Structure 1
Amino acid sequence: MPKQKITKEMIIETAFEIVRKEGLENLLVKNIAAKLNCSVQPIYSYCANMEGVKQELVARTAKFIREYVAARINKKDYFRSTGRSYLKFAKDEPNLFQLYFLRQQPDVYTLDDLYRKESSQQVGIFIAESLGISIEQAKALHLHMIIYVMGISAMAASTNIDVEGEDIQNQLDMAYNTFLAQLKGETHGKDIGNL
């Protein structure tokens, strides 16, 4: 039987499945080679070191996240269902959540840097048009919700919290309504926690 040709795509896909099922700590060249039933040489020929593999994995994971979230979006409640989808992703795929969202990002110095990296101008325009607010207000609301959802997502990825339970959904709704009311200037003199 002829030897199977190992491709870069096979290496990245195998590495992705290792991280997904076993965690980043098990991403070792010898583990990739064992899963592919080959020596470590083909892996090193495509990826000079594990940093190269990790960079490829971040891109592969980003694609997976986009597909995962897109499949769960409610078009009638696009903005909030997107946040809920990310939260479910953290619970369903804790190892991929850790790989992508908890990785070192030395080029991010401010929340504005983070927002530009994780969002797009089109998202701000969509939110602004959907909610009847300015683009600046839309970006601020989106950033607030990213911070809030990622905080709960980090907890969900490492605990047994039921992300689809009523208490979490109520928390998300309360945060959304509070942030939106603040941006619209509707909270003057009100106790924000009781909105």
Structure 2
Amino acid sequence: MPSSPKIPKEMILNAALTMLIRDGYSALNIKALAEELHCSTQPISRHFGNMEGFRKELADFALSYAFEKLTPSAPDGREAFKEMGRAYIEIAFDEPNLFKFLFMGDHSGYQMGGLEALTMDPDNRAIIDKLADNFNIDKECAGLYLQNLIVYTHGLASFIASGVLKADKKEIIDMMYNAGTAFLVQAGVKL
């Protein structure tokens, strides 16, 4: 009977996430991770099999970590929506390597598809329903509002995470809120 691993899978994933955030995905490999953990590569291989298995589990782990930050706490739909956008921008500012890994490349495996995926995703459908009710607009307009805001916010966050845009965090969040207001007017909301 094989001995139980002395280094738990969760410890390996936490170390890998730390390295990913600190150094970026390109610096992460099994040997570098073993050095970070002060162990051989054997426990990593035992838990994940190969780099592909490791990458998939790391992507799921990193996505869960990011989604915890993106989950709003406000009970009000509008405030919760603002919290999500602010958290998305903050990840781009504070953890740009994580943002790039999850939302700007194909390393994570997180792919939504075309623009229609933004309005067809079950979680986003629920948001669209709430937006339509909160703002007294039809669901198609609420979907267009959500789509525009996601694309705009992602563009800002991508500029920040990639270092293309150097700006103050508050300034970027204000830009997102101002664009959100403009998108509401475009969707037919009387402000």
TM-score by length of 2: 0.81
The share of aligned pairs that are identical, in percent, is 29
Distance of 1:172 and 1:84 partners within structure 2: 8
**In 1, are the aligned partners of 2:93 and 2:169 still within 8 Å (CA)?**
yes
Distance of 1:182 and 1:7 partners within structure 2: 51
After TM superposition, give the deviation of residue 108 of structure 1 in Å.
4.7
Give the letter for the 1:32 counterpart.
L
Give the letter for the 2:33 counterpart.
I
Name the structure 2 match of 1:83: 85
Please show how residues 148-163 of structure 1 align to structure 2 within 5 Å: 148-159=152-163, 160-163=166-169
TM-score by length of 1: 0.80
Distance of 1:117 and 1:55 partners within structure 2: 22
Please show how residues 102-117 of structure 1 align to structure 2 within 5 Å: 102-104=104-106, 108-117=112-121
Name the structure 2 match of 1:68: 69
- Among 177, 180, 184, which residue is 1:176 paired with? 180
Distance of 2:35 and 2:127 partners within structure 1: 42
Name the structure 2 match of 1:191: none
Structure 1: where are the runs of 5+ without partners? 187-195
Distance of 2:111 and 2:156 partners within structure 1: 24
Aligned residue pairs total: 183
After TM superposition, give the deviation of residue 37 of structure 1 in Å.
1.9
Give the letter for the 1:13 counterpart.
N
Closer, same or farther: CA 16–169 of 1 in aligned 2, 3 Å: closer
**In 2, are the aligned partners of 1:73 and 1:85 still within 8 Å (CA)?**
no
After TM superposition, give the deviation of residue 34 of structure 1 in Å.
1.3
- Offset from partner CA, 1:6-61 (integer Å, 9 cap, x none): 22222212111110111111111011111222211221122122222222122212
Name the structure 1 match of 2:11: 10
Please show how residues 18-37 of structure 1 align to structure 2 within 5 Å: 18-37=19-38
Give the letter for the 2:159 counterpart.
M
Please show how residues 123-138 of structure 1 align to structure 2 within 5 Å: 123-138=127-142
Structure 2: where are the runs of 5+ without partners? none
Distance of 2:37 and 2:132 partners within structure 1: 48
After TM superposition, give the deviation of residue 111 of structure 1 in Å.
1.1
After TM superposition, give the deviation of residue 95 of structure 1 in Å.
0.9
Closer, same or farther: CA 106–61 of 1 in aligned 2, 3 Å: closer
